């Protein structure tokens, strides 16, 4: 069964075709260069750009894969959380296709799709603990099955990716800063005393990254020499000063260790078969190493998507949409977009009598 996936929740327009767990093809247009000038995503520009790109990407995907429109069995689309105007572009395009091809529509929770993304590369076993770290979210889940996610903890303010990007902005490092901080950090050992490890003095599984972000702003204010003079010179051959590398490494370590400790806490409380690390920030070298060490200590299998599958992509939407559809879940054409900060309703239409249709999942 062939499923088309559409992703437009933030600054990547992406379309993909899967046949079960086999990726037939994917095309992604990243708007990063456009937004980097502004130091972050400009929502209205992002939705306009999705509108420009989504149809041509779809046409090119059909051409590249040799799949004909009438071979597509179902359309899956990211329905939230994300930027409302951006989501509406993908959802409208998906609805148009479903209408014209007379095929079903599946709205996909973008966060759950991130956590299921590694399922394209390896088999997932449940129950699992999912740690989702992206630009907009940092959350821990108990995943009993691909259709049963229980939120254990989430950030009370900024997401880890936001903390990376905003710290980078204060250093005049281009957007998205997380990638650059990761790269610069590789040139120095972390100073464990430079930044506090955020929000550990409690017993919960929530996160908070606004404090460490502010600590960086103050550190830069007191050390103005750290600020990059020419952010355009940060190409692959760029080598940061030792001071800048140490700041990046220390900041990265504090975030990584805070994530590790909260994940360890979750593992103490829930017996699971594996840990799934996902989201754009899961591409971070120090975070991958730190969580790998924890998994080894706990003798628990760690699932991490490849770097390409960490960032926003339509393959994960298509894969998870396919899983949902084969389980009997789909939506009607009045599927709604859910912006950031709102609960995603579990509002699937299903023919299965034992599955509730209007149960709200906590986000
Ligand atoms: O999941 P994602 O692609 O988009 C959202 O749904 O938010 O995540 C984007 C975030 C950005 O904040 C970016 O700076 C961060 O992921 N990111 C990284 C790395 N690669 C991307 N952060 C730290 N280290 C990286 N290597
Ligand atoms: Zn994402």
Look up the pTM and report it.
Answer: 0.92
SS3 296: helix
Distances (CA, A) of 320 to 39, 109, 113, 114, 359: 31, 9, 6, 9, 19
Residue 347 to residues 114, 117, 359, Cα–Cα distance (Å) = 20, 22, 7
Distance CA 28, CA 260 (A): 31
Q: According to the model, what pLDDT value does residue 341 have?
A: 87
Q: Give mean pLDDT, residues 120-148.
A: 96
Q: Which domains does the chain have, with CATH numbers?
A: 2-116+310-350 (3.30.420.40), 124-304 (3.30.420.40)
**Residue 102: both structure tokens together:** 């007379």
Provide the token pair at 141: 């889940």
Residue 207 DSSP code: B
In DSSP notation, 124-157 reads --SSEEEEEE-SS-EEEEEEEETTEEEEEEEBSS
Task: Grade residue 38 by pLDDT with cuts at 50, 70 and 90.
Answer: confident
Average the pLDDT over 106-126 and give the result: 95
DSSP structure class, residue 333: T
Residues in contact with ligand 1 by the CB-under-6-Å rule are 10, 134-136, 161, 164-165, 176-179, 182, 279-281, 283-284, 311-312
Q: What is the pLDDT of residues 308-348, one digit of tens each?
A: 888 999 999 999 999 999 999 999 999 999 999 899 999 99
User: Count of residues for the chain?
Assistant: 363
Q: What is the structure's pLDDT at 245?
A: 98
The residues placing their C-beta within 5 Å of ligand 2, an ion, are 134, 312
To the nearest 10 degrees (0 to 180), the angle between helices 285-297 and 242-269 is: 30
| Angle between helical axes of 177-185 and 285-297 (0-180°, round to 10) | 70
Of 28, 87, 134, 158, best ligand 1 pocket probe by most atoms within 8 Å of the beta carbon: 134
Average pLDDT over residues 275-304: 97
Element (H, E) at 79: strand 74-80
Does residue 53 register a pLDDT over 70? yes
Task: Average the pLDDT over 113-138 and give the result.
Answer: 95
Closest residue (by CA) to atom 1 of ligand 1?
Answer: 280
Give tens-digit pLDDT for 152-203.
999 999 999 999 999 999 999 998 999 999 999 999 999 999 999 999 999 9
Per-residue pLDDT, 159: 96
């Amino acid at each position: 069964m062939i499923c088309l996936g559409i992703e437009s929740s933030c600054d990547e327009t992406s379309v993909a075709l899967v046949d079960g767990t086999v990726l037939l093809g994917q095309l992604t247009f990243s708007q990063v260069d456009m937004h980097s000038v502004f130091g972050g995503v400009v929502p209205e520009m992002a939705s306009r750009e999705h509108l420009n790109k989504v149809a041509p990407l779809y046409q090119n995907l059909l051409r590249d894969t040799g799949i004909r429109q009438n071979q597509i069995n179902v359309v899956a689309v990211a329905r939230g959380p994300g930027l409302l105007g951006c989501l509406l572009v993908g959802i409208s395009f998906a609805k148009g296709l479903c209408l014209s091809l007379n095929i079903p529509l599946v709205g996909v929770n973008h966060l759950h799709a991130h956590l299921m993304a590694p399922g394209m590369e390896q088999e997932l076993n449940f129950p699992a603990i999912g740690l989702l770290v992206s630009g907009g979210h940092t959350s821990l889940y108990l995943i009993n099955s691909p259709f049963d996610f229980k939120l254990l903890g989430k950030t009370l303010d900024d997401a880890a990716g936001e903390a990376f990007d905003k710290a980078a902005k204060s250093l005049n490092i281009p957007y998205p800063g997380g990638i650059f901080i990761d790269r610069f950090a590789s040139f120095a050992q972390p100073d464990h005393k430079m930044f506090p490890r955020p929000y550990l003095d409690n017993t919960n599984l929530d996160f908070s990254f606004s404090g460490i972000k502010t600590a960086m702003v103050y550190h830069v204010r007191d050390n103005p020499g750290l600020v990059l003079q020419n952010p355009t010179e940060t190409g692959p051959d760029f080598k940061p000063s030792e001071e800048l590398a140490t700041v990046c490494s220390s900041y990265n370590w504090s975030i990584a260790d805070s994530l590790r400790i909260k994940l360890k806490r979750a593992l103490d409380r829930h017996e699971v078969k594996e840990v799934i690390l996902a989201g754009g920030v899961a591409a971070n070298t120090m975070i991958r190493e730190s969580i790998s060490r924890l998994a080894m200590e706990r003798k628990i299998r760690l699932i991490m998507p490849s770097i390409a599958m960490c960032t926003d992509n339509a393959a994960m939407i298509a894969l998870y949409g396919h899983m949902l559809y084969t389980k009997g879940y789909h939506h009607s054409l009045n599927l709604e977009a859910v912006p950031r900060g709102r609960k995603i309703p579990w509002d699937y239409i299903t023919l299965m009598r034992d599955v509730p249709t209007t149960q709200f999942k906590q986000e």
